[in-house]
Amino acid sequence: TAAAVTSVSGRGVGMDVVRNNIELIGGTVDLRSTPGKGSSFIIKIPLTLAIVSTLIVEASGDRFAIPQLSVVELVRVQTNSEHRIERIKDTPVLRLRNKLLPLVHLSQLLGIYEGENADEAIDADNGFIVVMQVGSQTFGVVVDGVFHTEEIVVKPMSTMLRNLEMFSGNTILGDGSVIMIIDPNGIAGAMASHASSAVAESQEDDQEDLQRRAMSGQNAISLLLFRAGAPEPKAVPLSLVTRLEEFEVSKIERSNGRDLVQYRGALMPLVYVNDGDCHKTEGTQPMLVFSDSGRSMGLVVDEIVDIVEDHMNIEVGSERPGVLGSAVVKERATEILDLGYYLPQAFEDWFMRKEMDIEALTKKVLFVDDSSFFRNMLTPVLKAAGYDVTTCTGPQQAFELLENGDKYHAIVSDIEMPEINGFEFCESLRRDPRFRNIPILALSSMVTPASIERGRQAGFDDYVAKFDRPGLIAALKDVFSGEMGAAA
């Protein structure tokens, strides 16, 4: 790579010296060159000369080294702490910043103990969880103790032990003890038999990509399966569930004609899936907790079955209140619940605190709302109505999409948004000749003659109460039928 060829440079002499020295210690150098593109140098050295930074942990009285490159963070779990180990279909999981991570004890992976002993170790109050990431898979490994980080010289595995996929080598610590080095790839492979792959889905996608995937009919989304009042399975999108909880039935109180529990310093109303359902009389009662803007609702269920990643194609609609329809999930007909029916049973003004938004499948609808909770909640409603929806967190993002040339058949906009409200957003669109004729619907909790008149002046085609889901779908049908009539 020298600029000019001389007697001492530009002839590959230095590269030859490097190759000779590597070959002297048993390594190899591979050169791959593509004209016009560049060259790649692949250098392989014996494992005995590799020095890696590791985290020293303990499991069942033995120490092990975990390469730090695969360690994302350490989490301490206790019964009274923020992080707790929960179970879904007897599979331990950790909810960490609203992400569910599958868990397995290191001793269980290594076969030191199985069954109930492993469960007891995972449920221990003083557990440490090493959160690891291998490729796109993130999971937690429970250990008994964490000591320190240390740079170690890797010794290769004996030929007799090379079939053990859990270990990549061993090392001798400063105190003379020999410990094994954990292979993160081996652990990632073993995790598949201990936890649902849906729980361990990739954490790399940003929030907007996840929303787009969830709203696309061709992609699978995470669904929480449960049973309530009947043996038939029911499901809700996992993105809407804030927590999975179990309460002692003794903590369920009756007040003002309804069941309540004290939850995080406030009273949380309990709602039942079917009329006439009641909670258990003894033991613990599982429930799904939905939270938004500091308020929570507990949906009482009989059993939390599983978390799966599957397509939510509602094939058979439903006239029953609280049910969007039926879809095939894990090869079984499953009822998809309409959470918009149950939330007002907990707080009548739930929908009045923030706005809601919508999207579609055969017609492209741009939905603008700053509330991620209501964006997620209305997605299955609009999918069932047959629209192809793109969501935006605010008018600025909507302007960017429109400026990029994206075409939409209609726009549904929240009114109450922090930086630019819905009226100003609509007026800006109507001033632009490119967007002047796009149907625009307003969603708001303030439905008064004055607000409706203000919406008309701003240029909205219709003004819908955000808690009126049938009215919103009807308004979309009206603007599209009017559009087709005008085209004819």
Both structure tokens of 75: 């989490």
State which fold the 350-487 domain adopts: Rossmann fold (3.40.50)
Tens of pLDDT along 387-423? 888 888 888 888 888 888 888 888 988 888 888 888 8
**pLDDT recorded at residue 146:** 87
**pLDDT recorded at residue 133:** 85
**220: pLDDT strictly greater than 80:** no
**pLDDT recorded at residue 219:** 53
Give 190 or 434, the one with higher predicted confidence: 434
**pLDDT recorded at residue 124:** 53
**pLDDT recorded at residue 195:** 47
Q: What is the Cα–Cα distance from 70 to 55, expressed in whole angstroms?
A: 10
Same fold, 49-191 and 214-346: yes
**pLDDT recorded at residue 53:** 87
Contact 142, 106 (CB under 8 A): yes
**pLDDT recorded at residue 118:** 55
**pLDDT recorded at residue 360:** 34
Q: How far, CA to CA in Å, does 147 sit from each of 57, 59, 62, 65, 97? A: 6, 11, 12, 10, 25
| Predicted model pTM | 0.35
Mean pLDDT in residue range 66-71 = 88
Give 21 or 86, the one with higher predicted confidence: 21
Give 114 or 264, the one with higher predicted confidence: 264
Both structure tokens of 421: 């409200």
Average pLDDT taken over every residue of the chain: 77
In this prediction, residue 79 has a pLDDT band, given cuts at 50, 70 and 90, of low
Mean pLDDT in residue range 165-173 = 84
- For residue 91, report the phi and psi dihedrals to the nearest 5 degrees: -100, 120
- Please name the residues in contact with 124: beta carbons below 8 A apart, sequence gap of 6 or more: none
**pLDDT recorded at residue 383:** 67
Class of domain 214-346: mainly beta
**pLDDT recorded at residue 85:** 72
- Which of 92-96, 117-121, 404-408, 451-455 shows the lowest mean pLDDT across its residues? 117-121
**201: pLDDT strictly greater than 60:** no
User: How far apart, in Å, do the first and last CA atoms of the chain sit?
Assistant: 69
- Which of 3-12, 400-409, 479-488 shows the lowest mean pLDDT across its residues? 479-488
Buried b (16+ CB within 10 A) or exposed e, 232-270: ebbbbbbbbbebbbebeeeebeeeeeebbbebeeeebbb
Domain 49-191 sits in CATH at 2.40.50.180
439 class by beta-carbon count within 10 Å (0-12 exposed, 13-18 middle, 19+ buried):
buried
- Which of 6-10, 114-118, 179-183, 399-403 shows the lowest mean pLDDT across its residues? 114-118
In this prediction, residue 210 has a pLDDT band, given cuts at 50, 70 and 90, of very low
**pLDDT recorded at residue 292:** 75
| Selection from 262, 221, 222, 223 nearest residue 245 by Cα | 262
**327: pLDDT strictly greater than 60:** yes
**pLDDT recorded at residue 135:** 74
Query: Where in the chain are the domains?
Result: 15-45, 49-191, 214-346, 350-487
- For residue 11, report the phi and psi dihedrals to the nearest 5 degrees: -110, 5
Beta-ladder partners of 234: 226, 335
- Which of 2-11, 59-68, 249-258, 322-331 shows the lowest mean pLDDT across its residues? 2-11
Give 405 or 276, the one with higher predicted confidence: 405
Contact 296, 266 (CB under 8 A): yes
Tens of pLDDT along 365-396? 888 888 777 777 766 676 667 788 888 888 88
- Which of 8-22, 215-229, 245-259, 451-465 shows the lowest mean pLDDT across its residues? 215-229
Tens of pLDDT along 100-139? 788 888 888 887 765 555 556 555 545 788 998 887 778 8
